[in-house]
Structure 1
Amino acid sequence: MSDLTRSRRRASAGTDSGNHDGAAAMVSEVRLAVLADQLPLSGARLAAAVQSTGKLLGATGMLRTVDQVHAELQGLGPLQHLLEDLTVTDILVNGPDEVWVDGGAGLRRTSHRFSTDAEVRALATRLISAAGRRLDDGNPCVDVRLAAFRVHAVLPPVSNRGTLLSIRVQRHREFTMAELIESGTLDPLMAEVLHAVVVRRLNFLVSGATGTGKTTLLSTLLALSASSERLVTVEDAAELTPRHPHAVSLQCRHNNAENSGAIDLAELVRQAMRMRPDRLIVGECRGAEVRELLAAMNTGHSGAGGTIHSNSAETVPARLMALGALAGLNREAITLQAASALDIVVHLVRSSGGRQVAVIGLMELDNAGALRVRPALVRCGGGCEAASGWARLQDLLRIGPLS
């Protein structure tokens, strides 16, 4: 942490309630002045607005006030300081008295408190409004995507403990295969296999529970695609940013304040198929769009992929059945579609040891004609070991024997 940051925190910690109220009033005054001239926001403009108040703040006070106004206008307001920890991926506000963060090693409670629930609601309303949506008694549950955050808010009385905020932080940090191996997410042999999956243009799904790193791994795999290929990604909220020279992204649009104008994932998949994709990727399969993705895979769109929520690799077929039912497909139809479309399932888990690829398996039909995932490589201790599907996976990928 920098000396400047420490000095700001010490100054903040030493402020009594009266001074705090005065500082809040001045921040509000500066914010209104900046908004009134409707010019592009810059550090110089903020500093000039602070000086125009006539308050004698000193260098530290000036910097702190500029930071506070900037956070109020474009950041997370009183929660902005939590982003100084670059490992933080989630900020969870459970009313005015509880603020939690997830910094990679599990949830931990912070010392931050809001003065009232009205302060939490004001922050939630501003963040939702910044995305063109409305949060009020008529719309008490809203989910939006901002430039660097995904924000979900719930108001009372739907919430029985005050305004709830769930903020997912996007760090715009893409990892290479080497970095995932070094961090322990990937075993070296699993990394070799996944590289071959991309090169051989097999269709795959990355599965796992929330926060296991599905999007991170998918972005890394997409970056392995040939530079001559065109990648079209379809997402509810744009999070995939692969290091690739020709990747374009489509993002869902939710209903506006007049409850119209929505464009869902299924429609975007249909549009993406008309955009001459070499690889079609659905960031998260969670509804009727699974029908469109499987149809694309079955009509010549090889090398396609996506993520899906699942507790284990073995339960991915059941998850597909449930999503297929939402799309109007019966069990037999989704079984045949998935068995012919999907080749590989890559399952991630999260434990005290961090995020890891636990299983690489094959999507296939068993002897009874039921859809299943047969494990080929399974994480075991510090490495991985071959399972019943390894020989078939070797044939698909044309790679050598297990070393």
Structure 2
Amino acid sequence: MRDALVDAVRLRLAEAGAAPGATEVAAALRAQGHPYGSTEVVELVRRLRSEMVGAGPLDPLLADPAVTDVLVNGPDEVWMDRGGGLERATGVRFADRQAVRRLAQRLATAAGRRLDDARPWTDARLPDGTRLHAVLPPVAVGCTHISLRVSRARPFTLPELVRAGSLPESGALLLRAMVRARLSYVVSGGTGTGKTTLLAALLGLAGPAERLVVVEDSAELRPDHPHVVRLEGRSPNQEGAGHVGLRELVRQALRIRPDRLVIGEVRGAEVAEFLAALNTGHEGGCGTVHANAAADVPARLEALASSAGLDRAALHSQLASALDAVVHLVREADGRRRVAEVALLRRGEGGLVGTEPAARFLPGGEVRRGSGWERLVAMCGRAERWAAS
């Protein structure tokens, strides 16, 4: 259906203050001198409604349960990820660059965020849980860029991740034992490796009587657990007031009796409060952090702690007794996400904390035990099934 006709009908409906219903659309078509049949009317109603209340041309992609990410680089350049890496979404396009900009601004408004020339980017959560990031020109060269991270209505379970090839059965038993033993850990990996997915699955293994307090900059974690309290950061308003950061939220979380403190992503000064909490009796705390390898996590946390005023010695002193383990994820060349390693944290010479490999999971499902395996077994308890395997 021609974009000019769609625009003409949209304008007529707007002038009349009419909703895009079948009767109104049919009348608008007749007024344009185009006698269309019922099939064309239904298609136009669907298209107009999606542009006004949905995600426009992106709706079919977001409705696909296999799609995890949708990226818009231009009117006719839309990409998606269905678990096998990025691929071009053929047949999906916008009328022009202004249509992309309008969609980005409407989605930002739906998320309660500002997106205009004075504030040309936004990072927000849509009402259905989808993560939105959008950047307007001239910061985005050429056209508005939209990135959507789709939120599943139901989180993956650990058995489902095993069936998907993300980790072997013995690896799932190991992670289950770590959760039951209330070890404190971080899930590390690069962007798009599935850190939030795995963390949500692990949180679902916590005891039903435990109270999980989840702190996030943009709420994404939806663990399948009966007692979850979620705290979400807030961006400043147009006057620059009202900002609520993760550091303050972590402090508040400690006052509402968490059995497990969870930080969706540790990426700033809140690392100081997080480590302090884990050092004051809050066992079983966890979160995610961006890192290229498990061995890089101490250095990554050290860099984040500098923004909180913690020097190197203070950070490593807290880290040594706060965190027990790192669960590291990778993404293969074919797009498949998998758990690659479980490493323990250990203080070395000079007081600096490093990692010690405990278990490596190879692509074919083989598990190789590292030098930290026996210590991990002792921390989790030798009665666990996986310890005898």
Q: Same fold (TM over 0.5)?
A: yes
Distance 1:146 1:355 in 2: 25
Confirm or deny that 1:238 pairs with 2:219: yes
Deviation at 1:142, TM superposition (A): 1.9
| Counterpart residue number, 1:40 | none
Confirm or deny that 1:320 pairs with 2:291: no
**TM-score, reference length from structure 1:** 0.88
Give, as a single letter, the amino acid of the residue that structure 2 aligns with 1:164: H
Distance 1:304 1:130 in 2: 32
Which one of the candidate residues 353, 358, 371 is aligned to 1:388? 371
User: Is the 2:343–2:355 contact (alpha carbons within 8 Å) kept by the matching residues of 1?
Assistant: yes
Confirm or deny that 1:119 pairs with 2:77: no
- Does 1 or 2 have the higher relative contact order (CA < 8 Å, sep 6+)? 2
Distance 2:23 2:246 in 1: 45
Deviation at 1:159, TM superposition (A): 2.0
Deviation at 1:157, TM superposition (A): 1.8
| Counterpart residue number, 2:382 | 399
Deviation readout 1:342-363 (Å, 9 max, x if unpaired): 0111001111261111001101
Confirm or deny that 1:363 pairs with 2:372: no
User: Is the 1:31–1:69 contact (alpha carbons within 8 Å) kept by the matching residues of 2?
Assistant: no
1:108-257 → structure 2 map (5 Å cutoff)? 108-111=87-90, 112-148=92-128, 149-257=130-238
Which one of the candidate residues 54, 62, 67 is aligned to 1:88? 67
User: Is the 2:214–2:229 contact (alpha carbons within 8 Å) kept by the matching residues of 1?
Assistant: yes
Alpha carbons of 1:289 and 1:48: their partners in 2 closer, same or farther (altered >3 Å)? farther
Alpha carbons of 1:215 and 1:31: their partners in 2 closer, same or farther (altered >3 Å)? farther
Please give the secondary structure, in 2, of the residue aligned with 1:229.
coil
**TM-score, reference length from structure 2:** 0.91
Confirm or deny that 1:343 pairs with 2:324: yes
1:262-301 → structure 2 map (5 Å cutoff)? 262-301=243-282
Q: % of aligned pairs identical?
A: 50
Deviation at 1:255, TM superposition (A): 1.0
Q: What's the RMSD between the two structures over aligned residues?
A: 2.1
Give, as a single letter, the amino acid of the residue that structure 2 aligns with 1:276: R
Deviation readout 1:324-373 (Å, 9 max, x if unpaired): 10111000111011110001110011112611110011011123422111
Distance 1:48 1:337 in 2: 67
Runs of 5+ unmatched residues, structure 2: none
Give, as a single letter, the amino acid of the residue that structure 2 aligns with 1:341: A
Alpha carbons of 1:32 and 1:333: their partners in 2 closer, same or farther (altered >3 Å)? farther
Confirm or deny that 1:60 pairs with 2:39: yes
Give, as a single letter, the amino acid of the residue that structure 1 aligns with 2:367: C
User: Is the 2:317–2:351 contact (alpha carbons within 8 Å) kept by the matching residues of 1?
Assistant: no
Alpha carbons of 1:369 and 1:272: their partners in 2 closer, same or farther (altered >3 Å)? same
1:92-111 → structure 2 map (5 Å cutoff)? 92-111=71-90
Deviation at 1:129, TM superposition (A): 1.9
Distance 1:267 1:396 in 2: 32
Please give the secondary structure, in 2, of the residue aligned with 1:241.
coil
Which one of the candidate residues 354, 358, 361 is aligned to 1:376? 358
Deviation at 1:31, TM superposition (A): 6.3
